[in-house]
Structure 1
Amino acid sequence: MASQLGYSVGEDAGIHCETSFSRNGVSLEPFKKYRIQPVNPDKVTFVIVNVSKEDGGIYTSYAVDRNTWFRSEQSDLVELLIKDTDLPKPSISMSPGWVEFLGSNITIQCRARGPVKRFYLHRFGYPYAGLPRMIETDGDVADFLFIDVSWDQLGEYFCTYRPPWGFLMSMPSNTVALQLLDTNLLDPPSISLRPLGGVDLATNVTISCMTTEWYDKTFYLEKAGGQMLWELWTRRTVATFFIIHVNWEHGGEYRCTYAMRRAMSLSSDPVELLIRDPDLPRPNISLSPSSVALLGSNIIISCWMEGLNNTFYLHKAGKRKAPQSVESKEGMALFQISNVRLNHAGSYSCSYRTPKLFKTSENSNNVDLLVLGLKYSY
């Protein structure tokens, strides 16, 4: 049995009927509030004006030859479903991810908060390009499997469902976008984050994605866990994403991809957004053998925090590059500067991050490294 797409209360619904047994025209009688719109001698559309929930149901049609009054057999059955705004919207997810390789297998899962008779999977922008895929169920979840994904399956998908009672349909879920990777077409973008290092709560952060391609493209910013956050269409080679007033939930690992000419690039390298936690104790820092170094000598900067084996970061005041990082051993991390040069002089501090969380301590106190040059006389 085929189902019509759901109609909202107050809309006009159209049911299309067609026959080929007669070339003398089709005789159809209007019923109730139906309006007949002839399309050609053998095809008409029944229009149900100002649809209500009572109009939901199972419909069939037949045709009558005007000359012989011969009546055709009844058509197949069709369900007319009415959208019910009181039903909870379903949720939708895609696995293993929203970006996949050409020819891979993916699953789109639809889930409802309550009993369901049938789930529907729709492709956005294709309401009449074939009926939506459907799965009968007596539970609250349905998995739609795509085998050997191809280019013509790209697009955005959403779910609806029919409850076990009435001829009703839920409002649509959010959408998920299916994009495909073709590693032979596009190089991966690069990514950068400002400000560097840990940031304070309520700080504004920018994440920039860059490529060498000048043509129209859409950049995507993804957070670890397969969560696609934002997309941005541009003709430029750089797309900038803004995170306003950072909170704890923003901490994490981010990557960029971009789509162009129906192809998706590989992901960029990751960048980490770390958020400073003022409740974490500050680490300690020291210089050895001395805070004064001769050109060409070696210096070790030690950072430590008793009882913690974490990643430590070394920051230099005024430096615009990402801080160096070292995994600690027995709570201590050693940063070695070999063959000291004049540009190594400056103020240094360190911080550390907590295991498995994207939180970082505030910076330690500063230590100053002075570099002495040699004066030659001729």
Structure 2
Amino acid sequence: MGGSAGTLTPTALLYLGLCQGLWDQARTGTLPKPSIWADPGPMVTKGSPVTIWCQASLQADVYYLYKESVHGSWPMKTSQDSSNRASVSFASMSSHNSGKYQCAYQRGKSWSQGSDLLTLVVTGVYDAPSFSANPTLVVASGGNVSLSCSSPWPRGSFHLLKEGGADVPQYLELTFRRKRYQAVFLVGPVNTSHGGTYRCYISPESYPYLWSQPSNPLHLQVTGVYREPSLSAQPGPLVQSGDSLSLLCRSETGFDRFALTKDEELRAPQCLDGQPSPNFTLGPVSRSHGGRYRCYCGHKLSSTWSAPSAPLDVLITGMYEKPTLSAQPGPSVSWGENVTLQCRSEVLFDSFHLSKEGSLAPPQVLHLQDTVIPNQVKFTLSPVTSDHEGTYRCYSSHSNSPYLLSQPSDPLELLVSGPHWYLYVLIGVSVAVVLLLGLLGLLLVRQRRRGKGRKPGAADPEPKDRGLQDRERERERRPTSHHITIQDSITAYRL
């Protein structure tokens, strides 16, 4: 077993071949136990260098490294910048260097307790196993996924590791299929911590620290962590073969990674390849571009994604001969009436699509149960309003290739007449009825108030002309009365 030792110094005495009895004394020491670790890590590729470090909380005189099942120990080289840690380096990792290690230190006549065990594994000794996921590597939050590691070795152990050092599940079952042993690891219910890169290894039963080469990496992606974005097509989901199409994924602010998947109705996406822009350009499009798309949003350097957007069907036109489109009773219809648009094909098809120029809505689809030539379907618009006015086209397709459509039919322009006067009459009648009801209500309230103000049996008030006559008579009597009063005063004075 190879190693390197430092030069003797007053603070770090190097002892070779420490006997087993002295190590037993060290492991039962009273000083605090040191910590132990490997740099760059406890898993080392065959032929690569590795350094084992031992660090104490106190300054020590001597450090020793002990390997399990080996009689003796190695002195450790004290670090130049501190005497409270020391190291042993292996320039080229081999199968002889693998195993479990402990370290201890001595200060004066006192020994420390032994450190925790460090398991040093050498990888790349055997061929890599096979590694796969079922049903998919893209899993919705709360779902489950099985990771399978298989090898032809009859006896041994399977090891599942995740980048970042997170805890991984123990294998659920060990089976033998097609001359291969297979270990199945169940991951789930998944959450954000399960996203990341996994690899598996195998090791023989008799050499547990000698591992195989790593398997192919599997990148587990977790969806449904954030709100779903929206997906739209420009100029629209109907695209002629050979043209280009842009799919725009809109989301809340703060996301810098977007992914587009296709045909999730048949299977979950096998991968999510992110890009910084929410615009995905397809084209020149061909038969293979037809399908159902969804988009996701997420963050860089993360294995978590949003919930999927609502599905968007991209339909490729120009695959077959065009059908014919007609209107019954005709292309001019009055507002409020019914109209039937008939799509007819002389070739055997079982699905027909009706689209309106400028509409953002997906085309209407009708399926035939009885495919007798000529094929035809009827799209009914009822009742017709001004919104139905426009240019229509129809397409034909096969149900086993729902995203591949024929050439468009000749355009049919639907004209809707009379919406204005009909609407004005309806509004005028409604306003007149409301005003009439309001007037009748006011008259009824006024009549009720008058009835409450009159007392039973009371005489009607006299007219205003009679009251004026009484006041005039009163004025005629006033001068006579005044004259009598003056004469009486004169008579009284004379007396």
Q: TM-score when scaled to structure 1?
A: 0.69
Other-structure match for 2:64? 27
In 2, Cα distance between equivalents of 1:42 and 1:56? 28
Task: Show the counterpart of 2:292.
Answer: 253
Residues 1:110 and 2:152 aligned together: no
Instruction: Specify the SS of the correspondent of 1:161.
Output: strand
1:166-201 Cα deviation digits (max 9, x unpaired): 6432254141223454xxxx5432211345345456
Match of 1:351 in 2: 396
Deviations 1:197-216 (A, max 9, x none): 454566544322213x2234
User: Do the aligned partners of residues 122 and 242 (structure 1) sit closer, same or farther apart at CA in structure 2, a change above 3 Å counting?
Assistant: farther
- 2:195 aligned partner: 155
Which protein has the bigger strand share? 1
Q: Which moved more, 1:113-122 or 1:296-305?
A: 113-122
Does the Cα contact within 8 Å between 2:65 and 2:75 map onto a contact in 1?
no
After superposition, the Cα gap between the structure-2 partners of 1:269 and 1:56, relative to the gap in structure 1 and judged at 3 Å, is farther
Question: Amino acid of the residue matched to residue 412 of structure 2?
Answer: D
- The CA deviation at 1:218 is 4.0
Gaps of 5+ in 2: 1-37, 67-73, 422-495
Instruction: Give the corresponding residue for 1:273.
Output: 314
Q: Given residue 99 of structure 2, which amino acid in structure 1 is its aligned partner?
A: Y
Which stretches in structure 1 are left out of the alignment for 5+ residues? Answer: none
2:50 to 1, 9, 13: 13
For 1:1-378, what aligned pairs fall within 5 Å after superposition? 6-8=43-45, 11-16=48-53, 24-28=61-65, 38=78, 44-51=86-93, 54-55=94-95, 58-61=98-101, 63=103, 76=117, 78-83=119-124, 87=127, 90-93=130-133, 98-101=138-141, 104=142, 106-112=144-150, 115=153, 117-124=156-163, 126-127=164-165, 135=171, 139-151=180-192, 153-162=193-202, 164=204, 167-179=211-223, 181=225, 187-199=227-239, 203-211=243-251, 213-216=252-255, 218-223=257-262, 224=264, 225-227=267-269, 228-233=271-276, 239-246=278-285, 248-259=287-298, 265-276=306-317, 278=319, 281-282=320-321, 284-296=323-335, 297-305=337-345, 308-310=349-351, 312-317=352-357, 321-331=361-371, 332-338=376-382, 339=384, 341=386, 344-346=389-391, 348-355=393-400, 357-369=401-413, 371=415, 373=417
The farther-off stretch of 132-141 and 106-115 is 132-141
The offset of 1:155, in angstroms, is 3.1
C-alpha separation between the residues in 1 aligned to 2:58 and 2:414?
98
Contact 1:302–1:334 under 8 Å retained in 2: yes
Shift in Å, 1:26: 1.2
Q: How far apart, CA to CA, are the structure 1 residues paired with 2:325 and 2:51?
A: 79
Query: Retained in 2: the 8 A contact 1:190–1:268?
Result: yes
CA contact (8 A) 1:94 1:108 kept: yes
Are the equivalent residues in 1 in contact too, given 2:199–2:217 (CA < 8 A)? yes
| 1:193 counterpart SS class | strand
CA RMSD in angstroms, aligned pairs only: 4.7
Q: Read off the aligned partner of 1:368 and give its amino acid letter.
A: L
Q: Is the 8 A contact 2:248 2:279 kept in 1?
A: yes
Q: Identify the residue that residue 461 of structure 2 maps to in structure 1.
A: none
TM-score (norm 2): 0.55
Distance 2:216 2:239 in 1: 38
Shift of 1:367: 4.4
Distance 2:387 2:221 in 1: 52
Q: Larger C-alpha radius of gyration, 1 or 2?
A: 2
